[in-house]
Amino acid sequence: MSNKNTPTPHIKANEADIAKVVLMPGDPLRSKFVAENFLESPVLFNNVRGVQGYTGTWRGERISVMASGMGMPSIGIYSYELYNFFDVDCIIRIGSAGALQENVKVKDIVFGMGACTNSSYAEQYALGGTYAPICDFDTLKTATEIADEMGISYHVGNLFSSDTFYDENGGGLKWQKMGVLAVEMEAAALYMNAARAGKRALAICTVSDSLVTGESTTSDERMSGFTDMMKLALDLAVKIQKK
């Protein structure tokens, strides 16, 4: 059950303005790109702090797309409010990640089955142990089925959600030894918020660069070039609403 006290300090919308499934890129411009290039009749429901959110339709189903900003504190705020104030059922992160394994190539897609982290985000729950953030399995299973149908190259496994982009200790490559596929900055907080709210979440990341080979993409390529991930996520949003 949602808290009807909306709009919130960060999302200037009412509950009815936002669909039950929200695609969540980090970059507000990527949110705008998805809305303008894929959604039918998109309507801007939020632009507080330039964090753009739109609702439209895809294949006849109502879907929202809204940016999360960078890092766990930022996605922590927006996903918490969407789950707990706007009664969103599922958030699908569509972001970028850096490959940590040699077989994970630039422009491959990684589905985050779990999200390791160096963040203290879970300390708020006072669990007395180490929490392992994981995605919703049914959403993951459906996503891989769509990827197979689309003929997309993908990997399923652990992400490393880092609190630091510029890491003095080279922490990302240490996680490589534990079989972690790629590093990003948001999935762990999203998964924890989903678990606490009894909702669903999945992080889908396109590999933008490789910490192994040094290959990388430009910011323009990251904004508009990850269209396979966007189409996959949109089709996923349709399928899980029809179940």
Contact (CB, 8 A) for 205 and 110: yes
Cis status, amide bond into 7, omega within 30 of 0: yes
For residues 113 and 111, give the distance between their C-alpha atoms in angstroms, rounded to a whole number: 6
Contact (CB, 8 A) for 56 and 35: yes
Residue appearing with tokens 């323009």: 220
148, 209, 220, 228: which one is catalytic?
209
- Label the pairing between strands 109-117 and 182-184: unpaired
- Label the pairing between strands 154-161 and 182-184: parallel
Contact (CB, 8 A) for 125 and 87: no
Residue appearing with tokens 């949110």: 31
**First and final CA of the chain: distance in angstroms?**
20
What is the torsional sign of CA 150, 243, 110, 75? Answer: positive
Closest CA to 24 of 146, 197, 204, 220: 204
Beta partners for residue 56, in sequence order = 63
For residues 167 and 20, give the distance between their C-alpha atoms in angstroms, rounded to a whole number: 36
Amino acid at 19: A
**Is residue 209 annotated as a catalytic residue, yes or no?**
yes
* Residues with active-site annotation: 209
